[in-house]
Structure 1
Amino acid sequence: MNLGVEAAKALIGRFSDGEVRVEIQHNVRGKDVYVVQSTCPPVNENLVELLVMIDALKRASARCINVVIPYYAYGRKDQKDKPRVSITARLVADLLTVAGAHRIITVNLHADQIQGFFNIPVEHLFGTRVLLDAIRKDIRGDEVIVAPDAGGVSRARAFASRLNVDLAIMDSRYQNDVRHSFIVGDVSGRRVIILDDMVDTARTLLRAVEGAEAAGAASIVACVVHPVLSGNAVEKLASSALQALTVTDTVPLSQEATGCEKIRVVSIAPMLAEAIRRVHLEESVSSLFSG
């Protein structure tokens, strides 16, 4: 709708044994194709479906296969931090490339280094731009952006800089096998905005909420790009001190999450549409890279 282009038809189904079946019902020979598929839960089903679709397009002689992945699954394992573990972020990158993808367009990878796992162009967009626009009108001046862990500091710093507000950092560490969490920075009597790239089980987010509450925050809200919200995450968030959670639609919300009054969804569709338009017209996409 944002591009004014009608989506091509495709038959996507399953054989009786559960194998994925894909049939492209549109002539794509010699054309630039954009496949939009978020590898959200059910992760393995959606990932294999995407791979089979790419293969079908390749064998149908598509000129360029651009794969738009709003949520990149298996991105949390981007390094070998323990013996005998898989680097799944690299594995998925290899699978997409071997299947026939020519370009990846994705939103908020769990780690920037994942771009380097590909030997094809990667357009890494930031959903935090959409979240920034959504909350800018509510900024009063007493806010402080909180990074829930060390990995999110650069993201939170850029967010705070664009809003011209202060930054604080959640520090969690184990002492005598007990996790202790406290906030580095002044949040007392202020409106705390916790920023993260994803919320899955909500453990990290809730630790930040509890830390902000203990430090005397006047109110606590959160902005998260990918609302995976697995298990009983929605229930835990609903009963917490968190007043509001703003997320994007990179991952479709469950029925339970949709019914939660604390959760607000903003769409990344206009940003993705602009990225696709610029890629197709061979224009610069760099202005969409800043978070």
Structure 2
Amino acid sequence: MADESGHGPMLILGGRANRPLAREVGEILGHSVDSATIRDFADREIFVRIDRNARGRDVFIIQPTSAPAENTMELLLLIDAARRASAARVTAVVPYFGYGRQDRKDQPRVAIGAKLMANMLVAAGADRVVSIDFHQHQIQGFFDIPVDHLYAAPVFTRYFREKGIEDLVVVAPDVGSAKMARGYSKRLGASFAIIDKRRPAANVAEVLNVVGEVDGKNCLLPDDMVDTGGTLVNAVKALKDRGAKAVYAAATHALLSGPAVERLSQAPLEEFVVTNTIHIPEERRFDNLKVLSVAPLLANAIQYIHSNESVSQLFELGDD
């Protein structure tokens, strides 16, 4: 029997990519997320079964599509299982949208991975997608279904506002993130600077100049993701070389690939603040790493979607 949402009772499923986040969201909403059996065959093929009745229910599947690629396949199988179990609506809650960096054909004969990911989610049967901080806003347009694109900026600005850092300068790590960084500076009452850099190859960045006053100031470097950490460490060093007192960094998605943990733990960073869109195991954590939870943000979005309320009140950007 359908409830006031028109989509039946809520059913939340959590994939294996980030079980702690899924369970935290479930606890906030008062729902168990352990309603599916997911296991691997000997050859690593994934088996999925929804253990509770999904017929006529409003199904939300929480699963970031970070590496390995099995996480994406697991999400697709969960969507397919819910669709074949006659769910009224299936919403893919993808805290980190993998392959988002491949969002255009910027050189000959390359794939547009972000569009392919969107096509696969729709083909599997998703009716709606919820995600946080796409690498580029235009990815929303790759979907032919509704997309609720949430922002981690309010989570970060609340945290840094409570710290009460004086003489704060928000520094955009590159031209592309200048709009986002300006939003942070406005909400934190801070001044603004930008790093002018050239990237000669993927995962390689060369800092050329810092535009703005950072000497004797406390600096905050916000970004949407940190992968190997090379770009961020170069930026931190450039700011310290130019007299910055203390440098803080914030990134929504902590990929922390390869040498990232070693680089960041040794960098002259006061604090590196990230969210838990991607699960960071204990062995990948270090002393000055601070992890903030996006579970309340996702739980609010799920509740608003389920009850057909506006999600736009969660869209506070930090970049207007």
Q: Unaligned stretches of 5+ in structure 1? A: none
Letter in 2 for 1:266: L
Deviations 1:22-75 (A, max 9, x none): 011110001110000011232x01000000110111110001001100010000
Is the Cα–Cα contact under 8 Å of residues 54 and 86 in structure 2 kept in the other structure?
yes
Determine the C-alpha separation between the residues in 2 that align with 1:115 and 1:40. 18
Determine the C-alpha separation between the residues in 2 that align with 1:22 and 1:174. 42
Query: Hey, which bits of structure 1, 4+ residues long, moved more than 6 A?
Result: none
Is the Cα–Cα contact under 8 Å of residues 35 and 52 in structure 2 kept in the other structure?
yes
Q: Which residue of 1 aligns with 2:150?
A: 125
Q: Which residue of 2 aligns with 1:157?
A: 182
Q: Which residue of 2 aligns with 1:250?
A: 277
Is the Cα–Cα contact under 8 Å of residues 59 and 87 in structure 2 kept in the other structure?
yes
Q: Once superposed, what is the RMSD of the aligned Cα atoms? A: 1.4
Select the residue among 116, 132, 135 that pairs with 1:107: 132
Q: Which residue of 1 aligns with 2:260?
A: 233
Determine the C-alpha separation between the residues in 1 that align with 2:164 and 2:101. 32
Letter in 1 for 2:64: S
Determine the C-alpha separation between the residues in 2 that align with 1:94 and 1:145. 36
Q: Which residue of 2 aligns with 1:33?
A: 59
Letter in 1 for 2:187: R
Identical positions, percent: 43
Q: Which residue of 1 aligns with 2:92?
A: 67
Is 1:272 the counterpart of 2:298 in the alignment?
Answer: yes
Q: Which residue of 1 aligns with 2:171?
A: 146
Select the residue among 152, 157, 167 that pairs with 2:192: 167
Is the Cα–Cα contact under 8 Å of residues 234 and 256 in structure 1 kept in the other structure?
no
Q: Unaligned stretches of 5+ in structure 2? A: 1-26
Alignment TM-score, normalising by the size of structure 1: 0.95
Alignment TM-score, normalising by the size of structure 2: 0.87
Letter in 2 for 1:4: G
Deviations 1:217-272 (A, max 9, x none): 011111111111010101011111112101100011133332x1010111000010
Is the Cα–Cα contact under 8 Å of residues 195 and 207 in structure 2 kept in the other structure?
no
User: How many residue pairs get matched?
Assistant: 287
Is the Cα–Cα contact under 8 Å of residues 216 and 244 in structure 2 kept in the other structure?
yes
Select the residue among 282, 285, 288 that pairs with 1:262: 288
Deviates more, 1:100-109 or 1:146-155: 146-155
Q: Which residue of 1 aligns with 2:29?
A: 3
Q: Which residue of 2 aligns with 1:287?
A: 313
Letter in 2 for 1:276: I
Letter in 1 for 2:260: A
Is the Cα–Cα contact under 8 Å of residues 257 and 263 in structure 1 kept in the other structure?
no
